[in-house]
Every structure is written in structure tokens, then in C-alpha cells.
Structure 1
Amino acid sequence: MAEREKTPDEGTETPAKARKSPIKLIIVIFLALLVIGGGAAGAVMFLGKGGEETAETEEPEEALPTYGPIIPLGEFTVNLNETSADRYLRIKIDMEVADAEVQAQVEQRMPLIHDTVLLLLSGLRLEDIATVEAKEALKETIRARVERFLSTGSVRQILFQEFLVQ
């Protein structure tokens, strides 16, 4: 007998191909895209960040203010000009000057500066130094009086390292 070819419709069944659910296929594609996207984003952030960091680190260096030499004026202890109670002020003062030339002038005239600051401080009352604004005004007054002794340059700021009233 002649064998005839069997077609799948005729009698023998071939195992049905396992069909994947469309939901599973969508989830797999989504996860693959997520992994690829995450890897690309990470690469851009880490590799691209190197150039940005150099640009960012250069900008703050240029924007940083320059500071002049700091000269210690020393510690002063004076009685406050109070009639109701015996009070004293102990203050340690430093000052920032513009450059080394001004520093040399200040060091040369230090006795005059000490005398001026001491006289100024001994005339103060508690009310003259009780608030932050009053302390800032005192800094400005000291700065102006010190600058009278300078032929060139300026005092940038007065710094209080210690400020004690008792």
C-alpha cells in the first residue's frame, strides 16, 4: 500500500506550540527597556558628570573671595563706664587688612592702635554693646579709628574672637 503523507488535519496531532500570553510578552519587553534605559541613564550620569564636575569645581574657586592677612590686636580687659554696677568687658580682637603693605603699617603703629582701642573700649557702657547691631557698630568704629593711622590701604574687617561682659 502506498503510504500517503499525513497532514496535521488528518489524524495525527502534533503537540501544540506553547503560546505565550501577550501580557507576559509585554512585561518582558517592558523589563528589557527598563534595564536598557536604566543602564543608559546611569552611564550618562556617571560618565557625563565628570565634565560637569570639573566645570562646577572651577567656578566656585573663581568665586571665592580673597582674604588679606589677619593681624591679632590682642586681648583687652576694661571696666565699663557704669555707675550702677561694676562691670567689665574682656574682648579679643583681630583684624583683616588688605595686603602685606598695610600689615607692615599696622605692626609699626601697633602701640598707637592699642591706645586708641583701649580708650574707645573703656568709654563704653553696657547699652553700647548689648545687641548684635551695637557690636557691629563697635567693629565699624574700631575699623575707622585704626584706618586713621594708615597712609595707604585699608582694614577690611574687625573680628571679635572673644567678647565677655561681666
Structure 2
Amino acid sequence: MAEKKKDEQEGGKKGGGKLPLIIAAVVLLAAGVGAAAYFLGAKGAPGAVGADVARASSMPSDAIGPMVDVEPFIVNILDNDGTRYLKAALTLEAETPAGRQEIIERMPQIRDAILLVAGNKTFDELRDLQGKLQLRAELLGRVNEIMKRDRIRRIYFTEFVVQ
């Protein structure tokens, strides 16, 4: 009977020795799944990591990408005191020459998105620097949703008048 208790205690110790191994295996598995999700899910497309690496190696981060001008537009903006207008022109910087071509092909969709986003702004939002930067960030996100094969790196306001 004493031997049986001794075996049970040793068995408990042996089972307890497996717990750190199980925890380590779960942590490694979670890290592997997370890494796979990151690399396979980057930019929303399978295999996009290779494209990102190719872009990164072909163009330094401080290099200027291909540019496409967006024709000037005038849009009504929201205001309680009367009718206000925004007249603006933009230049879009693509990441690659192929991205420049995609911008040109999708220009009607891009202009539509720009007009809808800008038309929902108020005079107070666009009056100061913070509002302009916020508009730029919103436009960048919206235009990049439209782009399917490439991305917009930066948006530049080349004309911006609020009246």
C-alpha cells in the first residue's frame, strides 16, 4: 500500500512535468498562427508579403513615387451660417508605376469618394490645420479601400480654398 501511494505521488509529479511542455507547445502554436495570419493577411491578399518585400526593396521609403493629379473640384460643405464651398485639387502618390496606372483607371471612383468625404465636412472642421490633416487621412483610407492591386502612399493638397 505504501508503494501504491509512492507510485501515485511520482505519477503526479510526472504529470506535473508535462504541464510546462504543454504550455510551451500552446504558446509556440499561437505564435505560429499569429505569424502566419500576419504574413498571409498583409494588405488583405494572400501572398502580399512577397509584393511588399519587392516594393520595399525597389523603392526606399523616402523616395517619391509616381504621381497622379486629381482635377480641381468644388463641393458644398456643411455649415449652419449659410452656404460654404471647398475648392481643392489633389495629387496622389502611388507606391509603384503599376499603382499609377490603377489610379488612372479608377479615377471616377476615386473622385466620387473624394467628393463624398469632403462634402460631409463642416467649415469648422476644415478651417484649421488639424482638420485638413484629418481630411487627408480619411481620404487616404477611403482611396486605398478602392485600390485593389496597389496602394496610395501619400495625398498632397495642391489647392485648398474654403469660402
Shorter-chain TM-score range = 0.5 to 0.7
Q: Give, in angstroms, the shift of residue 115 of structure 1.
A: 0.7
Cα separation, partners in 2 of 1:105 and 1:64, compared to 1, 3 Å: closer
Bigger Rg over Cα: 1
TM-score, normalised with respect to structure 1: 0.59
Q: Post-superposition, which runs of at least 4 consecutive aligned residues in structure 1 deviate over 6 A?
A: none
Query: Which of 74, 84, 88 is the matching residue for 1:91?
Result: 88
| Cα RMSD after superposing both structures | 1.6
Aligned partner letter, 1:82: D
Structure 2 portions without partners, runs of 5+: 1-59
Larger helix proportion of the pair: 2
Structure 1 portions without partners, runs of 5+: 1-62
Query: Which of 117, 134, 137 is the matching residue for 2:134?
Result: 137
Cα separation, partners in 2 of 1:87 and 1:74, compared to 1, 3 Å: same
Query: Which of 78, 81, 85 is the matching residue for 1:81?
Result: 78
TM-score, normalised with respect to structure 2: 0.60
Q: Do 2:127 and 2:162's aligned partners in 1 also have CA atoms closer than 8 Å?
A: no
Q: Give, in angstroms, the shift of residue 152 of structure 1.
A: 2.8
Question: Aligned equivalents of 2:62 and 2:113: distance in 1?
Answer: 30
Q: Percent identity?
A: 26
Question: Aligned equivalents of 2:111 and 2:134: distance in 1?
Answer: 19
Confirm whether residue 125 of structure 1 aligns to residue 92 of structure 2: no
Question: Aligned equivalents of 1:164 and 1:123: distance in 2?
Answer: 16
